[in-house]
Amino acid sequence: MQSAVTRQISAELRRRLAKASNVLVLTGAGVSAESGVPTFRGGGNSAVWKGMPFDVISSATMVRRNLPAVWEWFDYRRELLKSLRPNPAHQEIARWQKRFADLSVVTQNVDGLHQLAGSKDVIELHGSIWRSRCQDCRSKIQISRTEPRAELCLDCGESLRPDVVLFGEILPSGAFELAAEKAGACELCFAIGTSGLVYPAAGLPEIAKAAGAYVCEVNPERTPVSDICDEVLTGKAGEVLPLL
C-alpha cells in the first residue's frame, strides 16, 4: 500500500525527475531539523543566548561591540553541532549528485551537514559556522572539529570573526549571484525546509519559475513559496526525499 506522502507525488514530477539533467535544490533550516538542529521559525521558541535574542547576539552590531560574546555563542553552537549527524534528507540530496548531470545545492544553513553527507560545491548563502574570517584582510580559515580554533588571522594577525552572515549584514559577494544563475538555468527546482521569508534566498524559486523550471516545495507547512510552486509535497524532508 502507498503511503500518504507517496500518493502526493504526481506522475508529472516523476516524469521530470526521470529526464531532468539540471536540478537546483534550495535548503533551509527545516532540512536539518530531523538531525536535531533547531529551526529559526516555527515551533514557538526563538533562540535566546544569555538573555539576548538571537538577532541581537548574531548581529553585526554585536561583532563591533562585543566580539568575544559572539564567539562564545558560536563556539557553543558548534559544540552542539559536533554530535549531530546528517539525516536521510541530506543523504538523499548528496546521492542526487550522481543521479543528475548538473545538481546545484544552495543552502541557507551554516551547519555543514550537507557537506558531511557528501554534497560537493555547496553554495552557502549565509556562510558556515565551521569557518572564521579575518576582520581586516578577510582571509578565511576552516575551523576543525577536533582542534581549538585560531584566535588571530594567520596572514595578518588581526582578529577573526565567524564567517557567517549576521543580522544587519549583506550576503558574501558572488554566492547569491552564482545561485541566481543556476536557478535561471535549472529545469527542476526544489525548495526544501525553508520558510521562504528571508530574501534574497527566498527569491531563488521565483527566478527558477520565471525561467520555466518546474518548482516543487517540501515542507510540513505551507509557506509564501507554496503559491508559486507547481507541486507542494507536505511532509518532513527526511521522509519525502527518499521517496522521490
Q: Determine, following the binding rule CB under 6 A, whether residue 162 of this chain makes contact with ligand OAD.
A: no
SS (H, E, C) 69-138: HHHHHHHHHHHHHHCCCCCHHHHHHHHHHHHCCEEEEEECCCCCHHHHHCCCCCEECCEEEEEEEECCCC
Answer for which of 24, 25, 26, 28 binds ligand OAD (CB under 6 A) is 28
Q: How far is the CB of 164 from ligand OAD (least distance, A)?
A: 7
Identity of the residue, 102 or 244, whose beta carbon is nearer to ligand OAD in the bound complex? 244
With CB under 6 A as the contact rule, which of the stretches 33-41, 136-144, 155-163, 182-190 interacts with ligand OAD?
33-41
Q: Which of 65, 67, 48 is nearest to 134 (CA)?
A: 67
Q: Which of 28, 64, 25 is nearest to 213 (CA)?
A: 25
Q: How far is the CB of 154 from ligand OAD (least distance, A)?
A: 26
For residue 22, what are the β-bridge partners?
A: 102
With CB under 6 A as the contact rule, which of the stretches 14-22, 36-44, 180-188, 226-234 interacts with ligand OAD?
36-44
With CB under 6 A as the contact rule, which of the stretches 7-15, 25-33, 114-122, 151-159 interacts with ligand OAD?
25-33
Identity of the residue, 157 or 242, whose beta carbon is nearer to ligand OAD in the bound complex? 242
Identity of the residue, 38 or 158, whose beta carbon is nearer to ligand OAD in the bound complex? 38
For residue 155, what are the β-bridge partners?
A: none
**Is 90 one of the catalytic residues?**
no
Q: Determine, following the binding rule CB under 6 A, whether residue 104 of this chain makes contact with ligand OAD.
A: no
Which one from 126, 131, 133, 236 is the annotated catalytic residue?
A: 126
Q: Restricting to residues 177-196, name those near ligand OAD by CB under 6 A.
A: 193-195
Query: Do 185 and 154 meet the contact criterion of CB atoms below 8 Å apart?
Result: no
Rounded CA separation 181/89 (Å): 24
Q: How far is the CB of 79 from ligand OAD (least distance, A)?
A: 18
Q: Determine, following the binding rule CB under 6 A, whether residue 108 of this chain makes contact with ligand OAD.
A: yes
| Burial class, 188, CB count within 10 angstroms (exposed 0-12 / middle 13-18 / buried 19+) | buried
Give the three cell numbers for residue 214. 518546474
Q: Restricting to residues 39-78, name those near ligand OAD by CB under 6 A.
A: 39-42
Rounded CA separation 93/114 (Å): 8
With CB under 6 A as the contact rule, which of the stretches 32-40, 59-67, 146-154, 226-234 interacts with ligand OAD?
32-40
Query: Do 223 and 195 meet the contact criterion of CB atoms below 8 Å apart?
Result: yes
Name the residues annotated as catalytic.
126
Contacting positions for ligand OAD (CB under 6 A)? 28-30, 33-34, 39-42, 108, 126, 165, 193-195, 197-198, 218-221, 223, 236-237
